[in-house]
Amino acid sequence: MSWINLGEVHYVLRREHGEEAAAEAVRDLRRVIDARLPDVRLVVAAARIKADHPLACADAFAAALAVAADAPLWTGDPELLVDGAPWRWRDLRTGA
């Protein structure tokens, strides 16, 4: 998971549940995921994906990291559930 997306988890939880819940969630996630800082290659890959698909910037980072890691992107975000996209995805809303 990109730190860009981990930052999104933090801000969404902070808005809805406060700083303590957000910080706890980030701590818990870091125990079970590999949080990666974006490097030049990932930034350029995300920019290319964003240029080709109508995505939010953070979504483009998630997609670019999935491609780079040759891993499915687990998401429930309809913007990322794109048939024929260069990234593979798993729809968390349906388990598909």
**What are the residue boundaries of the structural domains of the chain, listed by start?**
1-36, 38-96
Residues of the chain with pLDDT under 70: 96
Which are the contacts of 7, defined by CB distance < 8 A and separation ≥ 6? 58
Q: What is the pLDDT of residue 96?
A: 65
Residue with tokens 């890691």: 69
- Residue 51: its pLDDT value, please? 97
Distance from first CA to last CA of the chain, Å, rounded?
A: 20
> For residues 40 and 46, what is the distance between their CA atoms, to the nearest angstrom?
10
